[in-house]
Amino acid sequence: MTANKKDPVVVVLQLTGANDYLNTIIPYTNGHYHDSRPKVGIPQDTVLPIDDELAFNPNMGPLKDMYDDGKVAIIHGIGFENSPRSHFRAMDIWHTCEPEVVGTEGWVAKVVRDLDPQGENVLKCVNFGQGLPRALALRGVPITSVSNLESYGVMSSVPGISSEEERNRLLDRFARMYAPAIGTGATMDYLGQTGRDALRGADIIKAAPEKYTSTIEYADNGIAKYLRDVVRVHTADLGTQVFYTSHGPFDTHFNQPPMHTRLWNEVSGAIRDFFDDLREHDAADNLIMMIFTEFGRRVRDNGTGTDHGAGGGAFIIGDNVKGGMYGTYPSLKPEDLNQGDLDPNYDFRGFYSSVIDQWLGLDPVPIVGGKFEQIQFV
Amino acid sequence: MPDKEEIALIAHLMRRAGFGASRQELEERAANGYEATVEELLHPEEQPAIDDDILYRYLPGYEGALGPPINQAEWVYRMVNTQRPLEEKLALFWHQLFATGNSKVDNPPEITQQIAMFRRQALGSFRDLLVELAKNPAMIWWLDNNGNHNGAINENWGRELLELFSMGVGNYSEDDIKDASRAFTGWTIEPKIPRNPLGRFYWNFEYRPEDHDDGEKNFLGHTGRFNGEDIIDIVVKQPATAQFLARHLYNFFVADEPQVPSWNINPPNDPDAVNQLVAAYDESDGNLRSILRLLFNSDFFKNARFARVKSPAELVVSTVRMVGNYQEPRPGFNMLAMECNWQGQELLNPPSVESWHTGGEWIDGGALVRRVNFAAGLLGDTSLPGVRTIIAGLRHRGVSAPEEFVDACLDLVGPLEFSGSTRSELLAQAAEDGDLNWDTEEETEKSEKKIGVMLALIAASRDFQFA
């Protein structure tokens, strides 16, 4: 097991439900923006300007501060051709890098496989949340998925089993029941592998909460809780190189302003606390966070919300990221729109490739299924 | 006494059409026969409903202003204690298909009303169910049809009606979605009472003719000044709809299928079975009782034992029904609801309108750990009434040596059909623990502990994850 603290680490944050990019990085001096969004548009005098064209959403103050410190890369116009407006399909494409067929193998899981080809460290990738996103699905690649870091463990609840010796005997039997067995089918094989990995992972990860102390006080919301968990596991030096978590729902068809405000307050505050916490532990320099969502939202609002769109944006954040803006913000001119939506001009697989190649030092081509234009963010 | 095969077959039926049954219930049902049991399940209205007075007394907030746990607990109570198992199982089926989430609706009592509507419509026509769904206030809010106006459509409901609720992707155009959405303009809810400071109130469906687009629409090759019900009438006659519903029923009641988004590419695992269900749909004009009658009496169903991974709700509820400690409303129901959540299925709050992924995708490291701990913790608890009954059954049969002990446990917990490799581990455990013996109080206590450990291991096994 490699447990070198300076191995590169990636945190993937998924904004579930399709974040409205136009109200995240706002073309605040563009007349088309204000014309298209009489109710959902954000007033010019409240935004946090980057330059004389683009500005952060007013609820992203902490991220604006990090941007000014040169730690945030903004990637404009991300997406893919013939972008489906279905959450279902679009998220699957992001998760599997398969825009043409329905894929079942997750790109993050392929990264984990290449980082740890023998599957030696079951904590190489840790997901925080309920259930496993498809990005992490690949038979044979162990992923530890934790909904509650405090109570993670197996056979911990059998009544009448009090002595350590009795419990160890049960754990041994569990391990044998989950041993590889010939001819019982793919799902039984998968269950066996998952059970054996869970046994090993639980033994190791239980040390993380015990070691951690911090002066950072996180807010009380889901993303803050999980990013704190990321710090607890990262600083425990268990060899984890990929973390995955998500927040939402960003599906703001209706009554968008208060929802979108709350969500970005939560996300921005949690990210600020997260990086402050990492720095307090001298553990920020080998970690980056990538943020994505399934697609952007329609340019013209539908009243108080916005429908599913196409082109959006993504972020890479970290102390060793070359901050700034990458790519071109898609045109808002009516004649340039794609069915009323921003036309994506940067393939999301290039975004993935940049991180896989420049940060993790792996070959991105087999993972994302081809060669795509990278951004030089390191 | 009914023969073993009949008991095993009815146990299979009760796992799928309900949430499992005790040994005593299986024997009673077996005495009536399989087909009579199917008929009884298909007519829930002939069985007593859950006593709402008891729920009002013990869970007084469940249809009022309180938060999600009360409503989730209310549903789990119904699943555990229903005498109409198929009605409750279908409510879960429709909830998984027409996934409506509290993350956005923010009104658990209103989603609970939607679940109650599923119970009422569970075995009627699919057409009527879709019409009720289109008028359901929680669904209108969830998919923004209250923001779908004459001249300014919001196509969220129109799209998902076709993509996720009836036909499946690839069977209609973007223009069909737009005109379906136009047809549902004016289908909205009455103005809501603000949640603060008074709490949550029920919403009501309202049709506003002045906000309805009465113009001509083109939908799936038909032209007319369609309203919402006309769209549904056209939808339910599409072959794609019969196929889509048949495949969902197969996936939920018979055997795990590939995940839904691949259905327009991957054919069904058992095309003949799906074709039979489609034929039953066509012959009955989409009558769900008729389709399910065919399904439960078919050979493809009877031969599909343990071919599905239990959903978290199925695992939690069936285990609780077996240990029999939850017949009365009590605080523990909140924890049962949370348990479903932690295993990856938060009732009344699916992750998105795409619903949960099923089959093997219920399982990941975290979910498996919780499933194992939950089931082993209950079945290994020799103080619980259902476990006492199993112990009494083992004593009554006079089992003692390892092989008869293990096989009797598997029989009384199921009957379960375990793989040879798992069974041999159970045999090894029984051999190490030594024969059961009831001669003295001390020996009895030891034997009961051995049984508890054996039942915990059964519950912790891979094989136990299947229904």
Which chain A positions have a beta carbon within 8 Å of B99's beta carbon?
A: none
Q: Which of A85, A130, A191 sits opposite B465 (nearest CB)?
A: A191
The C-alpha of A297 sits at a distance from chain B's nearest C-alpha, in angstroms, of 13
User: Using the beta-carbon criterion (under 8 Å), do B364 and A156 form an inter-chain contact?
Assistant: no
On the question of pLDDT at B87 being above 90, the answer is: yes
What are B182-197's pLDDT values in tens digits?
Answer: 999 999 999 887 765 6
Q: How many CA atoms lie within 13 A of B37 on its CB side?
A: 26
pLDDT for A12: 98
Closest CA to A37 of A252, A311, A310, A292: A252
User: Using the beta-carbon criterion (under 8 Å), do A86 and B159 form an inter-chain contact?
Assistant: yes
Q: Which residue of B has its CA nearest to A259?
A: B104
Which chain B positions have a beta carbon within 8 Å of A179's beta carbon?
A: 421
On the question of pLDDT at B349 being above 90, the answer is: no
On the question of pLDDT at A218 being above 70, the answer is: yes
On the question of pLDDT at A304 being above 50, the answer is: yes
Structure tokens at B436: 């059961």
What are B436-462's pLDDT values in tens digits?
Answer: 999 999 999 999 999 999 999 999 999
CB atoms within 10 A of CB B220: 18
Q: Which position has the higher pLDDT, A157 or B414?
A: B414
User: Using the beta-carbon criterion (under 8 Å), do B460 and A143 form an inter-chain contact?
Assistant: no
Which chain B positions have a beta carbon within 8 Å of A159's beta carbon?
A: 377, 380-383, 452
Closest CA to A21 of A94, A76, A95: A76
User: Using the beta-carbon criterion (under 8 Å), do B453 and A161 form an inter-chain contact?
Assistant: yes
Question: Rounded CA gap, B32 and B30, in Å?
Answer: 5
Query: Would you place residue A181 in the very low, low, confident or very high pLDDT band (cuts 50, 70, 90)?
Result: confident
Q: Which residue of B has its CA nearest to A145?
A: B366
Measured in whole angstroms, the distance separating CA A251 from the mean position of its chain's CA atoms is 17
Q: Which residue of B has its CA nearest to A167?
A: B453
What are A166-178's pLDDT values in tens digits?
Answer: 888 999 999 999 9
pLDDT for B195: 63
pLDDT for B63: 59
What are B108-149's pLDDT values in tens digits?
Answer: 889 999 999 999 999 999 999 999 999 999 999 999 999 999
Which chain B positions have a beta carbon within 8 Å of A152's beta carbon?
A: 366, 369
- Domain coordinates of chain B in residue numbers? 4-42, 385-465
Query: Would you place residue A296 in the very low, low, confident or very high pLDDT band (cuts 50, 70, 90)?
Result: very high
On the question of pLDDT at A4 being above 50, the answer is: no
Q: What average pLDDT does the structure give for chain B?
A: 93
Which residue bears the tokens 């959902």? A40
Q: What is the dihedral of CA B184, B186, B191, B192, to 10 degrees?
A: 0
CB atoms within 10 A of CB B36: 11
Least confident of A265-269, A274-278, B170-174, B357-361: B357-361
Q: Which amino acid belongs to residue A152?
A: Y
B384 near B324, Cβ under 8 Å?
yes
Average pLDDT over residues A71-91: 89
Q: How many Cβ pairs within 8 Å bridge chains A and B?
A: 185
Q: Which amino acid belongs to residue B374?
A: F
On the question of pLDDT at B60 being above 80, the answer is: no
What radius of gyration do chain B's Cα atoms show?
24
- What does the DSSP 8-state code read for residue A151? G
On the question of pLDDT at A1 being above 90, the answer is: no
| Mutation target vs B (from A130, A196, A252, A263; most B CBs, 10 A cutoff) | A130
The rounded percent of chain A whose pLDDT value lies above 70 is 97
Instruction: Count Cβ neighbours within 10 Å for each residue of A214-238 and write b for 16 or more, e otherwise.
Output: bebebeebebbbbbbbbbbbbbbeb
pLDDT for B248: 98
On the question of pLDDT at B226 being above 80, the answer is: yes
The C-alpha of B177 sits at a distance from chain A's nearest C-alpha, in angstroms, of 12
pLDDT for A371: 98
Is residue B313 classed exposed, middle or buried when 0-12, 13-18 and 19+ CB atoms within 10 A define those classes? buried
User: Using the beta-carbon criterion (under 8 Å), do A254 and B462 form an inter-chain contact?
Assistant: no
The C-alpha of A137 sits at a distance from chain B's nearest C-alpha, in angstroms, of 9
ipTM for the complex shown: 0.91
Q: pTM above the 0.95 mark?
A: no
What are B202-214's pLDDT values in tens digits?
Answer: 899 999 999 999 9
- Domain coordinates of chain A in residue numbers? 9-148+218-368, 153-205
At B37, phi and psi to the nearest 5?
A: -65, -40
User: Using the beta-carbon criterion (under 8 Å), do A195 and B425 form an inter-chain contact?
Assistant: no
pLDDT for B356: 87
Average pLDDT over residues A31-37: 97
A318 near A71, Cβ under 8 Å?
yes
Q: Which of A87, A153, A158 sits opposite B354 (nearest CB)?
A: A87
Question: Which of A141-155, A178-192, B34-48, B180-194 is most confident?
Answer: B34-48
pLDDT for B364: 79
On the question of pLDDT at A87 being above 80, the answer is: no
- What does the DSSP 8-state code read for residue A338? B
Q: Which amino acid belongs to residue B248?
A: H
The C-alpha of B128 sits at a distance from chain A's nearest C-alpha, in angstroms, of 26
Which chain B positions have a beta carbon within 8 Å of A144's beta carbon?
A: 365-366
On the question of pLDDT at B2 being above 90, the answer is: no
Q: What average pLDDT does the structure give for chain A?
A: 92
The C-alpha of A324 sits at a distance from chain B's nearest C-alpha, in angstroms, of 33
The C-alpha of A290 sits at a distance from chain B's nearest C-alpha, in angstroms, of 22
On the question of pLDDT at A154 being above 60, the answer is: yes
Average pLDDT over residues B147-175: 96
Average pLDDT over residues B405-428: 96
Beta-bridge partner residues of B224:
B217
User: Using the beta-carbon criterion (under 8 Å), do A187 and B360 form an inter-chain contact?
Assistant: yes
pLDDT for A229: 96
pLDDT for A2: 39
| Mutation target vs B (from A122, A149, A177; most B CBs, 10 A cutoff) | A177
The C-alpha of A252 sits at a distance from chain B's nearest C-alpha, in angstroms, of 9
Class of the CATH-defined domain A9-148+218-368 = alpha beta
On the question of pLDDT at B328 being above 70, the answer is: yes
